[in-house]
Every structure is written in structure tokens, then in C-alpha cells.
Structure 1
Amino acid sequence: MDNRLYIPATPDTPEVDFDFDACHLCLRGESYPESAVSFYHDILERTREFLDACKDTEVQVTIELKYFNSSSTKMLFNLVDLLNYSIVRGNHVRLNWVHDEEDETILEFGQELAEDFPDIDFRAMPTQAL
């Protein structure tokens, strides 16, 4: 397996920087691709392969999305579900949910994820509004 998955940001897709060797997965930007399923398919598959190979591993995830549409919401949920499943294998997952401190919608979605997946070490991290 390639040890890194990097996809540069576009106007409608986020930067994906998954450094599997460092156990750090990062999504940054905006997510409203024409087909969220197509965009996230390989990301989810590569993440599943990585997590399947982990045992007793510390995995750090940073999600810093300024905007995402409803189809991206489902893909984010699927990603967090994969992370949650890896906890069963003895991994520790820390999810840094970075949000604009004035954006209640993104914060609330992150809080819903934290409630749905209580085994994940969830940390809401506000940024300063620009």
C-alpha cells in the first residue's frame, strides 16, 4: 500500500493529506463535489485498508472544512464510522474538528458525530473568524 494519499484542493473538493506512516489523516477546505460518492470512494477504501492493518495504533485525524454539502455529510459520516470501527481493534482515534468559531452549523455536525461515536477522542477546535 502506498503510504500517503494526497489530493490537492479544488474549488469544490477539499485537500486530502493522509500520511499513513505518521498515522495522521487531514481534510481541509470545502466539500461539495458533483459526486461525493465518486470523490470519496478511493479515500474511504484507502482509509479502510490502512485501518485494517492497524492494531494498538494512535491515529490522529484533522477535519477542517469550511463548508460541505449534504452528500459530503454522508461521506464524512462513513469516514468517522470507519475510524470508530478501528477502535474495536484497539486503536486510539483522536479527531480534531476544526471549525470557524462563528459557524454553528459545522460545530453542531461535529458535536453530533461526537455523540454518535463516543469512543472517538473528539476535540472541537475553533479558529478565529477571518
Structure 2
Amino acid sequence: MMERLIIKESKSTPLVDFDPDKGLLLIKGQSYPEDSFGFFKPIIEWLKVYLSEAPSKILLEFGLTYINTSSSKCIMMFLDALEEAYEKGLNIDLKWFCNEENEYEQECAEEFQEDYTFPFEIVLS
């Protein structure tokens, strides 16, 4: 059984809380670490191991108020792995929470949404 992955939020990195028992993967906050690839590498590795255990479904909740370019690339790598699993039959549901008054947040979520075929809902609040 996999360990839960929890990375506390900092000024420049999001909260990451991946609970394999519930199939709930949460990423919330801002993402502009000095070394995005270093920050996201263990997150992507955890995801790949989790996907190899053939979960029945995954619920993702994203709430990213700011993402720098290198973080965007890492998030794409993360979502690409999920897309591949979705194409093999994994049930995936992504909810991307945005502040309805923050156009940047919405545009960012919409850009990601365009690239993937799994259920991807943008939730405005």
C-alpha cells in the first residue's frame, strides 16, 4: 500500500496532498519555485507508482492561483501521465477551482483543459 504524499504549502510552492486510500489528489496554492522540476519530480514519480497499482478512479482537485512557466511544464507532465492512464481506461475526474474574479487563473485552467480528454471541470467561486 502506498504512503500518502503531503508537501506543505510555502510562499512559492503549492500544498500537495495525495491520499491513495481515497484516490484524492489535491494541489492548491501558488507554484513558482526556484527549481520547478526539482519540486515536481517526486510528485510525478509518486503519481507514476500510484498509476502502476491500477487504481479504479482518481479525483483531482487543483486550485492554483499562480503558476510560472516552468511549473506549467511540470503540471503538463503530470497531466500527460493521467491522460495516458485515462486512455487505458482509468476513471479520472479533475476539478480546477478558480476565483471568478481572477482572469489569469481561469485562462490558465482553460489552456490546460484544451489539451486533455479526461473529464476536466473548471469550478468558479
TM-score (ref. length: structure 1): 0.90
Show structure 2 runs of 5+ residues with no match: none
CA distance in 1, matches of 2:67, 2:82: 20
Letter in 2 for 1:113: F
Partner of 1:13: 13
2:91 is the counterpart of 1:101? no
- 1:25-73: CA deviation from partner (whole Å, max 9, x where unpaired): 0001111101000000000000011012115x12100010111111111
| Contact 1:3/1:21 (<8 A) preserved | no
Show structure 1 runs of 5+ residues with no match: none
Letter in 2 for 1:60: L
Partner of 2:23: 23
Count of matched residue pairs: 125
| Contact 1:94/1:121 (<8 A) preserved | yes
2:77 is the counterpart of 1:78? yes
Partner of 2:90: 91
CA distance in 2, matches of 1:109, 1:66: 9
TM-score (ref. length: structure 2): 0.94
Measured on the aligned residues, the alpha-carbon RMSD in Å equals 1.2
Q: Percent sequence identity over matched residues?
A: 32
Letter in 1 for 2:11: P
> Runs in 1 of length 4+ with deviation above 3 angstroms?
none
